[in-house]
Amino acid sequence: MSDSSLNKVVVIGLDGVDWRLLQPWIDAGELPTLARLVQEGAHGRLKSTVRPESSVAWTTFSTGVNPGKHGIFGFVRHQPSSYEFHLADSRHIGARRFWDYLGAAGLRVGLVNVPFTYPPQPVNGFLVGGMLTPGPHVTFTYPAALQQRLMQHLPAPYLFDAGDSAKDKAKLWQSVSAYTRQQLETAVLLLREEVWNFFAIVFTGPDRLQHFFWPSDVKKSEGPTNGELLLTYFKDLDQSVAKILGELPTDALVLFLSDHGFNAVGRRFYINSWLQSKGYLSLRSRALSTDYLSRLLTRLKSISLVRRLKQTFLPTEWGVGQLKTAVFANPIDWTKTRVYYAPDGGLRINLQGREPNGIVPFEAYESLCATLSSELSAVKDMETGCSPIAGVYQKKNLYHGPFTSSAPDLIVEPQRERDPLEQNYLIDSKLGSDLPHFTSSTPYNGNHAPHGILLAWGNGVAAHTTLPESDLQDIAPTILAAMGVPIPKTMDGRVLFELFTDQKCPDPTFLSETEPSSLGEAMYSLDAVDEPETAVIERLRNLGYLD
């Protein structure tokens, strides 16, 4: 390590935070801590992944590589040679995370609620699982003994995310507030009692609230507007940030960052319904209405019913997750379906020789991709007169690396950045014979946007600096460089030299990594079986991630 290396680096993750929301509040003096940090630090926009979804984006943050090298394309992952999708978790990340390199260099790391760290894998330090943790009955910390300490010190129930009450805004608000409070208390406890060189915590509250409370211009009722409600949360968060800063040594470098930005949304595009109307996708029975499907899914929430189903006619090795995804796959008539929009966030072609009942010949693949791209780009929502689609990308043009072949064939990006909000779209993968192509985006009025925030403050940071746009994959190599640890050449990101002072500007060294980067192999067996996965699936469904 060189003389300029920093010994203490902290990441405070703010899921889904966007300067467009923060800046006016900072300018108006509503968020004094963040205002001071912007003034004293370096800040700019941070480009997210395509797609800008937490699963993909936080994994690019932690690995410094594009999704083709880490293999996470959504909250679920496609099972090869099948139409099944299972939940993804920390064991499926196909690249090493930057904290693995910090640990190997002898630096101690502490991770609190960083997405995709469950199930907990060994680190040189400590780890508390985050948003995909099924519940307090499974091992959610490393070392395992840490979890007893947390549960003794903090009020029950111990939480892993908000959002279980997404249909009730008041309950959602309460659960986000309770979770944020618990996160702050956890951070303070561990910062005081543990030894660390690198520490990270990710607050998911902003994202959870913004989906439902993104401010629109129209004041629809008496009482506080969405903007006023959100500001209340952000003022609390600003104070939480101040409390965390109060626990840090004076020589710490602090990076605030979000996995993606946020913007207003007004419309929903049922892409599988559109595929059906164009003859690309066919359902088995006309009687299969969305009403039937949603009733079936509602019934699946009953674990005892699932158990009964399993006992009667399902293979015994099936988990509830498979049952849920089978509900997705079963209605589709694969002998007549050329393309479908899959739960992992893209179009999959029913290719001969690759899918179990593939009907599209290999020679027709490229021309089908081209036709789909041009037809999707030409789709119009008659109610708004707008196209819902901002771009259609073949996976080989978007990602590179050993896992590119696991990605959906075509990634479809909806309009996210238009003004007015009615012209921004969510893509919904729901299946049903009676679905329209478009509806309003209710209950969501906010959705992810491509640019998040980056704000660096503290030791070594060039003060009063506006940064050029940087990329989420730049964070991992920047942290390694700042701490004097060699950067693996396989990382796609670059060191953000521009945020450092001349004296503390890192002089990075590089590591040629030839060994297979398969930390994703199961080192720990998941002691969670059916119910926990159901709980996580339900949470994701409530948050709209599996629609």
Binding to Zn ion (CB under 5 A) within 91-120 occurs at none
Binding to Zn ion (CB under 5 A) within 206-245 occurs at 207
Assess whether the previous peptide bond of 143 is cis (omega < 30° from 0): yes
Of the candidates 336, 345, 329, 220, the residue with the CA atom closest to the CA atom of residue 278: 336
**Residue number, 393 or 444, with CB nearest to Zn ion:** 444
The mark string for 193-212 relative to Zn ion (x by CB under 5 A, - otherwise) is --------------x-----
Q: Tell me the three-class secondary structure of 29-80, residue by residue.
A: CCCHHHHHHHHHCEEEEEECCCCCCHHHHHHHHHHCCCHHHHCCCCCEEECC
CA distance 96 to 517: 6
The sign of the torsion formed by the CA atoms of 57, 62, 65, 68 equals negative
CA 402 to chain centroid = 21
**Residue number, 207 or 492, with CB nearest to Zn ion:** 207
CB of 115 to Zn ion, least distance (A): 11
**Residue number, 165 or 290, with CB nearest to Zn ion:** 165
Burial of 521 (0-12, 13-18, 19+ CB in 10 A): exposed
User: What secondary structure letter does DSSP report for 254?
Assistant: E
Using an 8 Å Cβ cutoff, are 512 and 97 in contact?
A: no
Give the containing element (helix H, strand E) for 152: helix 146-153
Q: Where are the beta strands (DSSP E) in 113-162?
A: 125-128, 141-142
Gyration radius (Cα) of the chain, Å: 23
CB of 206 to Zn ion, least distance (A): 9
**Residue number, 461 or 537, with CB nearest to Zn ion:** 537
Residue 525, amino acid: S
Binding to Zn ion (CB under 5 A) within 459-518 occurs at none
CB of 475 to Zn ion, least distance (A): 19
Tokens (6 digits) for 67 = 């999704």
320-329 and 530-542 helices, crossing angle to 10° = 50
CB of 207 to Zn ion, least distance (A): 4
Using an 8 Å Cβ cutoff, are 14 and 206 in contact?
A: yes
Verify binding: residue 409, Zn ion, rule CB under 5 A. no
Using an 8 Å Cβ cutoff, are 402 and 235 in contact?
A: no
**Residue number, 98 or 214, with CB nearest to Zn ion:** 214
Percent of residues in the chain assigned helix, strand, coil, to nearest 5: 35, 20, 45
**Residue number, 203 or 274, with CB nearest to Zn ion:** 203
CB of 213 to Zn ion, least distance (A): 12
348: left (phi over 0), alpha (psi -120 to 50) or beta: beta
CB of 183 to Zn ion, least distance (A): 17
By rule CB under 5 A, what count of residues binds Zn ion?
1
**Residue number, 42 or 543, with CB nearest to Zn ion:** 543
CB of 344 to Zn ion, least distance (A): 16
**Residue number, 44 or 163, with CB nearest to Zn ion:** 163
Residue 297, amino acid: L
CA 97 to chain centroid = 16
CB of 47 to Zn ion, least distance (A): 17
**Residue number, 452 or 458, with CB nearest to Zn ion:** 452
CB of 259 to Zn ion, least distance (A): 9
Q: Which residue has the tokens 């498979």?
A: 322
CB of 158 to Zn ion, least distance (A): 22
Using an 8 Å Cβ cutoff, are 273 and 282 in contact?
A: no
CA distance 33 to 326: 48
CB of 421 to Zn ion, least distance (A): 16
CA distance 438 to 388: 9
**Residue number, 273 or 445, with CB nearest to Zn ion:** 445
Give the containing element (helix H, strand E) for 27: helix 19-27
**Residue number, 216 or 404, with CB nearest to Zn ion:** 216
CB of 347 to Zn ion, least distance (A): 22
CB of 169 to Zn ion, least distance (A): 16
Binding to Zn ion (CB under 5 A) within 251-310 occurs at none
Residues in the chain: 547
**Residue number, 207 or 471, with CB nearest to Zn ion:** 207
**Residue number, 88 or 275, with CB nearest to Zn ion:** 88
CA distance 346 to 43: 33
Q: Which residue is nearest to Zn ion (CB)?
A: 207
Catalog residues that contact Zn ion under the rule CB under 5 A.
Answer: 207
